[in-house]
Amino acid sequence: MSDFVDRVTVHVKGGDGGNGSAGIRREKYKPLAGPNGGNGGDGGSVIFVADQNANSLMDYRFMPHRSAGNGTMGLGDTKDGSKGADLILPVPLGTVIFEAKGAEGKPKHPGEQLADLRHAGERYVAAAGGNGGLGNAALANRTRRAPGFALLGEPGEESDVILELKSIADVALVGFPSAGKSSLVAAMSAAKPKIADYPFTTLVPNLGVVMSGDYRYTIADVPGLIPGASQGKGLGLEFLRHIERTEIIAHVIDCATLEPDRDPLSDYYALEHELSQYADQLELPVAAIPIPERPRIIILNKVDVPEAKELAEFVRPEFERMGFAVFEISTASHEGLKELGFALGRMVDEMREEVAKREQERDEARVVIKPLERTGRRRADDEGGNGLDFSIVREEGGSGDFWFTVTGRKPERWVLQTNFDNDEAVGYLADRLAKLGVEDELRRLGAKPGDEIRIGRGNRAVEFDWDPTVAAGAEMLDGAQLGARGKDLRLEEQDTRARRRTNAERRRQYHDMMDAKAAVREAMMAERQAGHWADPSVDDDRHDEQAILGRGEDE
C-alpha cells in the first residue's frame, strides 16, 4: 500500500475555555471579605504549520479527528485557570486548506480556500480555542460589589477542513505512462522511485533533488497522463494538481514506444491539450505564472535504442521550430543527462527571478485598507441594515407560528457564557442584552410581550418568552427585594462608606427634621391652650387616686 496521501478531510476542534470561579474570600475575623473567584483558562487552538520535514498527509488519514487541550477552571484566591495546550499539526510545504462542504455523513468536497502554506513556518489557526469565563472577582465593580456568579467558558471552534497537497517542485516531468519519468528522477537525483516495465507503475508523485554544479533544484514525476485525464480518466486528474506550483514543464517523450498511432509529436499535442484543459479549472495564487506561459522543454528519451535515436533526430527540428529546447537522453546509459541538468538549472534560476519580481510588484501595488476607528458599538456597514452589533429577524414556521431570531457575535457569546441555573447570572445576561439595544430593536420590529425569542442558531440556540416588563437587575428572595444585583447587604452593613450621604441628602434630612420639630411645638401649644395640659403641683382632681397629690376622696 502506498505511503503517500495528498488529500484528506480532517475534523478539528479547539479546546473549551474553563469556567470562572464564584468564590468568596474567607479570613479569620473577616467572614465576608469580598469575592475572589479567578478566571478560567483559555482553550488551546488547532494550528497547521508548514514543515519541510513532512512529505505526506498519511497521518491525518488514519487519525482524522484532532482536538486541542481544554482550559482549566478558575480557583479561589483569584487564581486563574491554566491555558489549554495548542495542538501543532505539521503539514508538507504546498498544502492548501479548504473549507469542507457537504451534508453530514456524506463525502466532503472542497469549498472556500482558507490558507495556502507554501513556505516553511507558515501557520494557520484552523480552530481557535474558546475564551475562559470571568470569575466573580473580575465581574465586581462599584455598583456590583459582591457577584454571586461567574461566567462559563466558551466552547472552542469546531469545523471540518480538507487538506490538499500540491507539491512544490521547480520542474514537473509530464508524459505518457512508461515514458521513463521515474527512471529520469532516479538517474538525476538520489530518489529511489518504483520502476517497472508496465504502465501506471507510478501511483504517487515522486520528488527528487538535483545537484548540477552550483544549481540545486527539485523535480517532480507526475504519474502518467493519458487523453481525457483532465476529465478524470486514468490517474491524471488526481495528480495534475502537483504541477500547479512548478515553474518549468518538461515533456518526457518515449521515442521507443511500439504502440500504434503514437509518435513524439502526437504525444506532445495530447499532453498539451490535457494541460490546457486543466489550466482552465485552476485558480492560481497571486503572482503565480499561468501554466500556458510557463517555459517548456522537450526531453526525447530512450535514445539508447537505435530506432528511437533515429526517430529523435527526425522530430528534433520540428520541436526546435516551435521554439523549444530539445534534449536527447537515455536514462539507461545516462547519455545527455549532464547537459540536461545544467540547462534545467539555468531555466530554474531565470524563473525564480521572474517569480520574485512579480511578487515584489504585487507587494508594491498592494493597497492597505485600515478600518476606521470605532467610537461606539454601532456599525454603519452592518449587513442587517440597522448598524448594530447584532441582527434580529422575524421568522415563521409552517404551522403559522413565528419567532424572533437574534444573531450576532456578542449576544451568542453571552448566551454561551451564562449559567442558566443561577438567577443572578440570568439577570446579568438580561442587563447586557438590554444595554446592547436588543430590547429596543425588538420593540421596533413589533415584538410583543410573550413572543418567542431565540438567540443564536443550531444546537446552541436559546429560546425564551420575551417579558420586557420585568426588571433585569432585580433579585427577589421570599418576596423581599434585596436591591441591585451583585450587592450583599451584610457587606453594606459592615462598610461605613455605604452609608455616606450626599450634601443634597443632608440638606433634605435637616429640613425634614426642623419641620417635624416645628409641627410638634405647634401641636403641644394647641393642646395647652385647649386645657389638655395642667400644672402637676395643683391638685385639681381630688378623686383621682393616681394623681400625685390626689387624696382619692369620695364625693
How is residue 176 written as a grid cell? 505518457
Residue 303 counted as an annotated binding residue: yes
Picking from 24, 64, 20, 67, the residue whose alpha carbon sits closest to that of residue 42 is 20
Residue 338 counted as an annotated binding residue: no
Residue 10 counted as an annotated binding residue: no
Residue 159 counted as an annotated binding residue: no
Residue 496 counted as an annotated binding residue: no
Residue 256 counted as an annotated binding residue: no
Residue 201 counted as an annotated binding residue: yes
Query: Angle, to 10 degrees, between the axis of helix 423-436 and the axis of helix 409-417?
Result: 170
SS3 126: strand
Residue 221 counted as an annotated binding residue: yes
* Residue 388 Cα distances to 403, 406, 442, 443, angstroms: 20, 12, 13, 15
Nearest-angstrom CA–CA distance, 394 and 412: 17
Residue 166 counted as an annotated binding residue: no
Residue 429 counted as an annotated binding residue: no
Nearest-angstrom CA–CA distance, 161 and 166: 16
CB 159 within 8 A of CB 64: no
Q: Which burial class, exposed, middle or buried, applies to 452 when counting CB atoms under 10 A from its CB (0-12, 13-18, 19+)? A: middle
Residue 327 counted as an annotated binding residue: no
Residue 519 counted as an annotated binding residue: no
Residue 257 counted as an annotated binding residue: no
Residues 470, 471, 472, 476: is their CA dihedral positive or negative? Answer: negative
Residue 181 counted as an annotated binding residue: yes
Residue 537 counted as an annotated binding residue: no
Residue 70 counted as an annotated binding residue: no
Q: Please give the radius of gyration of the chain, using alpha carbons only, rounded to the nearest integer.
A: 41
Residue 223 counted as an annotated binding residue: yes
Residue 204 counted as an annotated binding residue: yes
Picking from 313, 357, 333, 329, the residue whose alpha carbon sits closest to that of residue 250 is 329
Q: Compute CA 177 distance to the chain's CA centroid, rounded to the nearest angstrom.
A: 43
Residue 456 counted as an annotated binding residue: no
Residue 203 counted as an annotated binding residue: yes
Residue type for 81, please? G
What does the buried/exposed string (b/e) look like for 248-281 if buried means 16 or more CB atoms within 10 Å of the residue's CB? bbbbbbbbbbeeeeeebeebbebbeebbeebbee
Picking from 331, 300, 305, the residue whose alpha carbon sits closest to that of residue 187 is 331
Residue 202 counted as an annotated binding residue: yes
Residue 108 counted as an annotated binding residue: no
Binding residues for GTP: 175-182, 200-204, 221-224, 301-304, 330-332
Binding residues: 175-182, 200-204, 221-224, 301-304, 330-332
Binding residues for Mg(2+): 182, 202
